[in-house]
Structure 1
Amino acid sequence: MVGLKTLYIAAAMASVLPSAAMAADTFAVDPAHTQTVFTINHLGYSMITGSFHDLKGTLSLDQKKPAQSSVDVTIGTTSIDTGFASRDDVLRSKAFFDAADFPTMEFKSTRVVLTGKETADVRGGLTLLGVTKPVVLKVKFNRLAPDQMRNNAVVVGFTGTTTIKRSDFGMKAYLPYIGDDVKITVNFEGIQQ
Structure 2
Amino acid sequence: MKFFTVLLVFISMFTATQAQAKIEQYKFEKPHTQIGFYVGHLGFSHSHGNFTDFDGEIIFNRAEVAKSSVNVTIQTASVEMGNDVWNEHVRDTFLKPNQFPTITFRSSSIDVTGENTADIKGNLKISGVTKPVVLKTVFNKEGANPFNKKYTTGFTATLDIKRSDFGIKEYLPAIGDDIEIRIEVEAECYEGCETVVNP
TM tier, smaller: 0.7 to 0.9
Q: How far is 1:79 from its partner?
A: 0.6
What CA distance in whole angstroms lies between the structure 1 residues aligned with 2:33 and 2:62?
21
SS in 2 for 1:78: helix
Could you tell me which residue of structure 2 aligns to residue 97 of structure 1? 95
TM-score normalised by structure 2 residue count: 0.83
Which secondary structure state, in structure 2, belongs to the residue aligned with residue 149 of structure 1? Answer: coil
Q: Give the Cα–Cα distance (whole angstroms) in 2 for the partners of residues 55 and 144 of structure 1.
A: 22
3-state SS of paired residue (1:181): strand
1:129 aligns with 2:141: no
Counterpart CA distance in 2 for 1:133 and 1:147 is 35
Asked whether 1:176 is paired with 2:173, we answer yes
Secondary structure at the aligned position of 1:148 is classed as: coil
- Displacement of 1:146 in angstroms is 0.7
Matched, 1:153 2:118: no
Question: Is 1:187 aligned with 2:187?
Answer: no
Structure 2 residue aligned with 1:54: 53
| 3-state DSSP of counterpart to 1:32 | helix
Q: Does 1:66 align with 2:65?
A: yes
The residue aligned with 1:19 is none
**Structure 2 match to 1:76:** 75
Give the superposed CA RMSD.
1.2
Q: Which amino acid aligns with 1:114?
A: V
Report the alpha carbon displacement of residue 23 of structure 1 after superposing the two structures with TM: 1.8
Secondary structure of 1:172's counterpart equals coil
Q: Give the drift of 1:67.
A: 1.4
Residue 163 of structure 1: which of 160, 163, 175 is its match?
A: 160
Q: CA deviation at 1:83?
A: 0.2
Q: What is residue 15 of structure 1 aligned with on the other side?
A: none
1:117 maps to what in 2? 115
Percentage of pairs with the same residue: 40
CA displacement at 1:101 relative to structure 2: 1.3
**1:61 positional shift:** 1.1
Q: Deviations over 1:24-59 (max 9, x none)?
A: 200011111111110011111001101000010200
Give distance in 2, aligned partners of 1:148 and 1:49: 31
In the alignment, which residue of structure 2 is the partner of 1:17? none
**Inter-partner Cα distance in structure 1 for 2:22 and 2:102:** 30
- Rg bigger for which structure? 2
> Which string of whole-angstrom CA distances, capped at 9 and with x for unpartnered residues, describes residues 75-122 of structure 1?
1111100101111111111x3001111111101100101110100000
Q: Provide the TM-score with structure 1 as the length reference.
A: 0.86
Point out 4+ residue stretches in structure 1 off by more than 3 angstroms: none
**1:68 deviation in Å?**
1.3
The runs of 5 or more residues in structure 1 that have no matched partner are 1-21
**Alignment coverage as a number of residue pairs:** 171
Q: Residue deviations 1:160-184, cap 9 Å, x none? A: 0010000011100110111101000
